[in-house]
A and B are shown apart, each in its own frame.
Chain A
Amino acid sequence: MYQASTQPRPSIFYDYQVYPYRRPPELDGQAIEHRVAVVGAGPIGLATALDLARQGIACVLLTADQQVSEGSRALAYTRRSMEILQQVGVADRIVEHGLPWRHGNSFYRGQCVYRLDVPFDDDDRYAPLTNLQQQYLEQFLIEQIQAQPLIDLRMGHKVLGVQPRADGADLQVDTPDGPYVLRCDWLVACDGARSQVRQSMQLRMEGTAYEGRFVIADIRCDLGLPTERMAFFDPPWNPGNTVLVHREPFGLWRVDYQLPPGETPEQALAPASMSARINAQLELMGKGGTPWELDWCSVYSTRTMTLTDYVHGRVIFAGDAAHMLPIFGVRGANTGWQDGHNLAWKLAMVIRGLAGPRLLPSYSSERVKAAQEIIDEAGRSVRFMTPPTPGFRLLRDAVLSLSLSQAYARPLMNWRTSRPHEYTDSTLNTADDDNSLFDGGWPQGAQIRNVRLGNDDHLLDHLGASFHLFLFHPEDRVAPGLQHTVETLRATGLPIAIVLMSATGQREVAGADLVLDDRHAHARERFGIQRGQGAYLVRPDHHVCARWMSLNGERLSRAVSRALGH
């Protein structure tokens, strides 16, 4: 019999709520065949369940805990993550409480040797990065789920094991009322780096585990500094190692420091050791003697590992359950949300019987490739921050030394941050469209970027859980052939909307589901439309799968069929 702790976790700034456990109907003899079970109510499981619900797919969401995350954990969310979180309905609350930022500073020998400046595009709604403690993020997602009847959130339900079936999976679940078996057609495992589902299926990740260990310590402290990421290389109190400092909302700061080799997590987290190190770091920042109070601390190590396939029959992996990525460059949750957003619409199409055989495998191929790209990029950051061999240490030290006088060496001290991946080679892209004729805009596989339409009005605000056909025509006409094709597709149950970007400022146009004012031709310019005419077919996750200079119903029909994996 499993019983989650019902004692609120300790915190000096976050008021933990214990959510109720509910007895499952399965324990009273009800045989339920769930369409989808999502395991894990961390950031990825919560958002993926909401994303499935947007697509009209019901799911049961299982989590062992009855409280949100212990500690601030994920903390920094990218613009793309905010766009995905907007789709599932929580971005406004994150903006309301979060701290936006776009600058970083790297210090060596008391000098700021590198200043990171992530550009903020006026077309974007969200800042390049937003900091908010994971507790709040999860709370907002849970509150959104509580208002969503399609999601059966079961807290205090611990998954012990998985029995995959040809047509689904059986989960062994333990609760305060005893164990039960939960049957589902599809299982989405979002149960984190130590995924019980992955272990139960004996699936192994491939990649590298690095030696370096880091302490994360969240302190409440009044430093009076702006929201900018700070990195201190080789500080006198921690020679050869790296210290990172991030500002958090509600008066907190995260101090993230590397441990000397050989030190155990227990030694590192001993209060006297932590106090001395945090005081030394405050001293280094010119804030010596500032009073502070610890909220949470933890030790982590760095891995760059991924499963080589995320779809195993009816069991699908997303987030840290599928890959473990270094936190330098905010790649954990930010990568996981892109997994979930890629998966949700595809699984919905499969369940509705609209998908061809290539659709679900494309989730795995697109996202495994993204993880591998991240691993290649992140490997560089990790080798700089925690040099694995004497050679890497020597070169890192050489770059630090050069950085004091030579500008060319300084970008080597920075790490690339998480970004949306382009599915250039996706099997869902159309081969014979006009992609290569465009000069500008967003190519096949890329995510369409936001477009500012007006004050507090952006393109992505208007998109729903469907395919979108963006049309540009000098006289704002929707060809009857296209209209007919879209109606035929819709009759099969496919969610697809025609968005006319109006050149003339009309409010309504026959055949268009949505008309957006583009009299200033700004959207035309962003989409790379020439001579006023063109079309983009955009997947429900905002990635382009085909684009044309001119389009007819037959070409559209073929592209949609391909995008559905036929």
Chain B
Amino acid sequence: MSDPIRLTDLEDFYDALAESVDRATPQKAELFLAKLALQLASEVKDPATLRRALDVALQDL
């Protein structure tokens, strides 16, 4: 496992993501998030990390 993300970086991404969801508008929020997930997958590349991310996000919905 690599080091956890720095708290300030996570906070910045949190804000930017929230603002981007709003910019996408409620009608396109789902589409935006799906694109974002694919874009991140193309940069993460590792199938095990991606599979784990899916499992984590599905928990406790």
Contact = CB atoms under 8 A, between A and B. Distances in A.
**Chain B binding surface SS class:** helix
B42 A398 contact: no
A397 interface: yes
A397 B42 contact: no
Identify the interface centre among B37, B38, B42: most chain A CB within 10 Å of its CB: B38
Nearest to A399: B38
Nearest to B36: A398
**Chain A binding surface SS class:** helix
Nearest to B43: A408
Interface string A369-413: 000000000000000000000000011011101100010110000
B31 interface: yes
Contacts of A397: 31, 34
B31 A408 contact: no
Contacts of B31: 394, 397-398, 401
A402 B30 contact: no
A399 B42 CA distance: 12
Contacts of A401: 31, 35
Contacts of A395: 34, 38
Nearest to A394: B34
Interface string B29-61: 011001101110010000000000000000000
Interface residues of B, number: 8
Nearest to A398: B34
Contacts of B30: 394
B42 A408 contact: yes
Contacts of B38: 395, 398-399, 402, 409
A397 B34 CA distance: 9
A489 B39 CA distance: 61
B34 to A, nearest CB: 4
Contacts of A402: 35, 38-39
Interface in A26-55: none
A431 B1 CA distance: 43
A395 B54 CA distance: 14
A408 B37 CA distance: 14
Contacts of A406: 39, 42
A5 to B, nearest CB: 51
Nearest to A391: B34
Nearest to B35: A398
Contacts of B42: 406, 408-409
Nearest to B41: A408
A231 B30 CA distance: 25
Contacts of A399: 38
A406 B39 CA distance: 9
Contacts of B39: 402, 406
B21 to A, nearest CB: 14
A409 B37 CA distance: 12
Identify the interface centre among A394, A398, A401, A408: most chain B CB within 10 Å of its CB: A398
A406 to B, nearest CB: 7
A402 B37 CA distance: 11
A402 B42 CA distance: 11
Nearest to B34: A398
Nearest to A407: B42
Interface in A438-460: none
B2 to A, nearest CB: 23
A409 B35 CA distance: 10
Contacts of A408: 42
Contacts of B34: 394-395, 397-398
A408 B34 CA distance: 15
Interface string B2-25: 000000000000000000000000
| Closest CB pairs A-B (n = 6) | A398-B34, A398-B35, A408-B42, A394-B34, A402-B35, A398-B38
Given A394-B31, A398-B34, A402-B38, 20 more contacts: A394-B30, A394-B34, A395-B34, A395-B38, A397-B31, A397-B34, A398-B31, A398-B35, A398-B37, A398-B38, A399-B38, A401-B31, A401-B35, A402-B35, A402-B39, A406-B39, A406-B42, A408-B42, A409-B38, A409-B42
22 contacts: A394-B30, A394-B31, A394-B34, A395-B34, A395-B38, A397-B31, A397-B34, A398-B34, A398-B35, A398-B37, A398-B38, A399-B38, A401-B31, A401-B35, A402-B35, A402-B38, A402-B39, A406-B39, A406-B42, A408-B42, A409-B38, A409-B42
